[in-house]
Structure 1
Amino acid sequence: MTESMIRKKPGMVSVKEMPVLQDGPPPGGFAPVRYARRIPTKGPSAVAIFLATFGAFSWGMYEVGKGNKIRRYPSSPKF
């Protein structure tokens, strides 16, 4: 397109005399922007994590105790 078709004025016109064409928002405005923090609720709960950690720690301490008994009394049968 030529400038005369866009500005609806014949021939070359000074820039100062041309009407201003400015972009604006679409009719009805822009869609809202999602900016809220949405954290998914997947995964184990805090209670489940605590119980699993407590269970692993308890089992580890049990194994350490078994090892201590074997180290303390090497000639006795294994427990």
Structure 2
Amino acid sequence: MTEAVIRNKPGMASVKEMPILQDGPPPGGFPPVRFARRIPNKGPSAVAIFLTAFGAFTWGMYQVGKGNKVRRALTEEKYSALHYLIALHCLSC
């Protein structure tokens, strides 16, 4: 359907002759718009997250330190055995 038929003005020569039709608010107005932020207080607090992360980091560094001590002891044992074997080899020459 054309605009002229919708507005009951058949035979118009120009668009400028069309009557102005503007939408308005519904009777009684529009309902109020909810714009307030309603964020639920769920989950751990920032302090709890920070303390948990700090604890995990501290425990991980402790485990790395223990692993370094074991690795250092194994390396020292390997070199010690190598030095003794070299000394025995030189004595038999």
Shorter-chain TM band: 0.5 to 0.7
Matched AA of 2:27: P
- 1:44 matches 2:44: yes
Which runs of no fewer than 5 residues in structure 1 stay unpaired?
1-6
Q: Give the RMSD, CA atoms, in angstroms.
A: 3.2
**Larger relative helix fraction:** 2
TM-score, structure 1 normalization: 0.57
The corresponding residue for 2:59 is 59
In structure 2, give the amino acid aligned to 1:59: W
Identity of aligned residues (%): 72
TM-score relative to the length of structure 2: 0.51
User: Which ranges of structure 2 fall in alignment gaps of 5 or more residues?
Assistant: 1-7, 78-93
Distance in 2 separating the partners of 1:62 and 1:33: 55
Please list every run of at least 4 consecutive aligned residues from structure 1 whose deviation after the TM superposition is greater than 6 angstroms. none
Deviation per CA, 1:6-51: give whole Å up to 9, x if none.
x9xxxx8x8x7x8x76543233221111223333322210111011
